[in-house]
Amino acid sequence: MSAKTDPTQLSSFLSYVTPSPTSPWGTYLSQVDRVIPYLGHLGKWAETLKRPKRALIVDVPIEMDDGSVRHFEGFRVQHNLSRGPGKGGVRYHPDVTLEEVMALSAWMTVKCAAVNLPYGGAKGGIRVDPKQLSQKELEKMTRRYTSEIGIIIGPQRDIPAPDVNTNGQIMAWMMDTYSQNTGATATGVVTGKPIHLGGSLGRVKATGRGVFVTGREAARRLGLALDGARVAVQGFGNVGGSAAELFAQAGAKIVAAQDHTGTIYNDKGLDLAELVPYVKQVGGVGGFKGAEAMDGESFWDVNADILIPAALEGVISAERAARIKARLVLEGANGPTVPAADDILRDRGVLVVPDVICNAGGVTVSYFEWVQDFSSFFWTEDEINVRLDKIMVDALRRIWDTADLHKITLRTATFAVACERILTAREERGLYP
Ligand SMILES: NC(=O)C1=CN([C@@H]2O[C@H](COP(=O)(O)OP(=O)(O)OC[C@H]3O[C@@H](n4cnc5c(N)ncnc54)[C@H](O)[C@@H]3O)[C@@H](O)[C@H]2O)C=CC1
Ligand SMILES: O=C(O)CCC(=O)C(=O)O
């Protein structure tokens, strides 16, 4: 068995000290700066939002199938715990860095408060391309990572969930490892689990459903009929795929889809009854026969009413924002729009429903799952979807009223509603031990 150091698995630890304005952490800090004028006396606590409470970097060594040893870099960041335990997904991606996970954890803090869940914000990740691992290697890496972050997670401390390239199976391994290490089955340590292990009905599609619900409400306010609306979706995974299906069921035409395997276009609307199983089987939209292939950059010029970025951060640059044709942008992804692009979209009259409310459906049903696990009493899918719809609609209404009152964007309004809750909790808890 040989051990070797792989420098490509190490991110720059210090990249967060001077973030670039378009990096995820730089984007988040600029969003915080924009909300401070609306926080009144709570502004004195705003620095709290600019510092993660706790950040853990872990080494995750595993023996590969060929007998060699590889070391992966893992993270768990708890951005804020003022309102309750940390909550947020775990991402497996080769570009994961500490700085990215810090931003993702901070957006969780804001998101959980925006829909008034009793959680703080956290996020985790491993810098790895999971598609290069066998199933056995993936399980070993997940279990080792869980043991390494086991010192800070737990049903009352910090509750991971799925994000990019993680799913119910990975949550099952995390739950099992944590339970083995603590000597008792702890279903509430992660959410997004398979149904047999205390998972919740409706969780898999919940984020996409939340994107649809906020999109439906925003379209109604814009006077945009969903029946016949043209929709372009970037990312056709858990979030983008589920949202596309719901928009198609409401009569919209999904005219373009882009993922890491390609970009496809069909002016009459993609046939999702064929595309969804195709993506499941092949791993992406590329090569789908019922559409034309397009070059990736042209995706941003597509003639669509609604654009749904549902992949990674920073994809809506200032340059792309000037070209986007949609009237409505629904941020399924976390952090897809850089601040300069936000300003351009606002000035062009394009309405952006920001990530911190648009994609909050996932964590809302994660909360339902956690509550069900504690009470060992499980709800029907209908109950889940009705409660989810109500929480999203009520939260969006409150945010919209705040935006109208101060004449600010929905993003700054969501931060205003959420940060008031977070910083009030911070103030009420006090500073002294
Ligand atoms: N899974 C969840 O419950 C939640 C996810 N999100 C966010 O939604 C986004 C998508 O997450 P999931 O759908 O869960 O992940 P996923 O792993 O199921 O899907 C990711 C999708 O992004 C695509 N993608 C990756 N790199 C790309 C690239 N360079 N260009 C175009 N497409 C690319 C992939 O091909 C795939 O279709 C992420 O920003 C995530 O943080 C937000 C809230 C909850
Ligand atoms: O379901 C959860 O707990 C978190 C989902 C997540 O990572 C997100 O909303 O970005």
Convert the pLDDT of each residue in 264-275 to its tens digit: 999 999 999 999
pLDDT tens for 315-355 read 999 999 999 999 999 999 999 999 999 999 999 999 999 99
- 315: containing domain: 205-358
Of the residues 301, 330, 358, the one at which a domain ends:
358
Q: For residues 100 and 135, state if they share a domain.
A: yes
Assign 308 a pLDDT band (cuts: 50, 70, 90): very high
pTM over 0.90: yes
Q: For residues 212 and 341, state if they share a domain.
A: yes
Asked if residue 429 is part of any domain, the answer here is no
Asked if residue 419 is part of any domain, the answer here is no
Decide: helix, strand or coil at residue 410: helix
Buried b (16+ CB within 10 A) or exposed e, 49-84: beebbebbebebebeeeeeeebebbbbbbbbbbbbb
Q: Answer yes or no: are the C-beta atoms of 391 and 364 closer than 8 Å.
A: yes
Percentage of residues of the chain with pLDDT beyond 90: 94
pLDDT tens for 370-405 read 999 999 999 999 999 999 999 999 999 999 999 999
Q: Is the CB of 85 under 6 A from ligand 2?
A: no
Q: For residues 146 and 13, state if they share a domain.
A: yes
The structure tokens 């590329």 sit at 286
Q: For residues 27 and 174, state if they share a domain.
A: yes
Q: For residues 217 and 81, state if they share a domain.
A: no
Write down the ipTM of this complex: 0.99
Which ligand 2 atom lies nearest to the CA of residue 334?
A: 10
Q: What is the pLDDT of residue 9?
A: 57
pLDDT over 80 (residue 16): no
Q: For residues 111 and 34, state if they share a domain.
A: yes
* Tokens encoding 54: 């706790």
Q: What is the pLDDT of residue 17?
A: 61
* Tokens encoding 380: 């029907």
Q: Whose CA is nearest to atom 7 of ligand 2?
A: 89
Q: Is the CB of 332 under 6 A from ligand 1?
A: yes
Q: What is the pLDDT of residue 125?
A: 98
Assign 11 a pLDDT band (cuts: 50, 70, 90): low
Q: Is the CB of 163 under 6 A from ligand 1?
A: yes
Q: For residues 45 and 172, state if they share a domain.
A: yes
Q: What is the pLDDT of residue 1?
A: 35
List of E strands, 94-168: 121-127, 158-162
pLDDT over 90 (residue 107): yes
Q: What is the mean pLDDT of residues 95-102?
A: 95
Q: What is the pLDDT of residue 42?
A: 97
Q: For residues 170 and 55, state if they share a domain.
A: yes
Q: Tell me which residue of 286, 231, 230 sits closest to 263, measured CA to CA.
A: 286
pLDDT, mean over the chain: 95
Per the structure, the count of domains in the chain is 2
